Amino acid sequence: MDHQQTEGGPPQGGLSHSAVDAITAVVFFAVGVVMMVDNYRIGIAWASDGPESGYFPFHVGMIISLASIAVFVKAMFGKHRNREIFVSWDRFRLVLLVLLPTALYVLLIQLLGIYVASTLFIAAFMRLLGKIGWLKTVLVSVGVNALLFWMFEIQFLVPLPKGPLEALFGY
């Protein structure tokens, strides 16, 4: 979250290496905590026949969490913090233009099924980022997913996550 002089231009802000390290440490800390909680639930004790099934993964989660704390402290309070720009705000915005819709797509798969969510995902990228016309967008997004539905559900008999629309058609 520093400023860096660009060649022939004004200072450009962005995320510093230290900020990215700290954010990454927080994410990995959360992953470690989830691992510990979930494996504690299935058992981390030492039984008469050896360790319970959560013993090893619990300790891996603990190591991940402790290492994440160390990385966070070093990134935020270390003597040799790297304050150089890791990514400018303009470039970070481009990353978010792909990351946020992809995260929404994963959520929509759970709510609408993979085929409807994929149709919306492809259509959104074609219209918003590709500036493609409506006719081509609808033909490609619906056509690709109709082909995938035919291939997986009808030909290969591999069921993929479905939503309410597929239920209307008896799938």
Give residue limits of the domains in the chain.
Answer: 14-83, 90-169
SS3 108: helix
pLDDT per position as a tens digit, 102-137: 999 999 999 999 999 999 999 999 999 999 999 999
CB atoms within 10 A of CB 79: 5
Summarised one tens digit per residue, pLDDT across range 52-106 is 999 999 999 999 999 999 999 999 999 999 999 999 999 999 999 999 999 999 9
Rg (CA), the chain: 23
Nearest 5°: CA angle at 106, between 131 and 130? Answer: 10
φ, ψ dihedrals at 87, nearest 5°: -150, 135
What span, in angstroms and rounded, lies between the C-alpha atoms of 97 and 158? 32
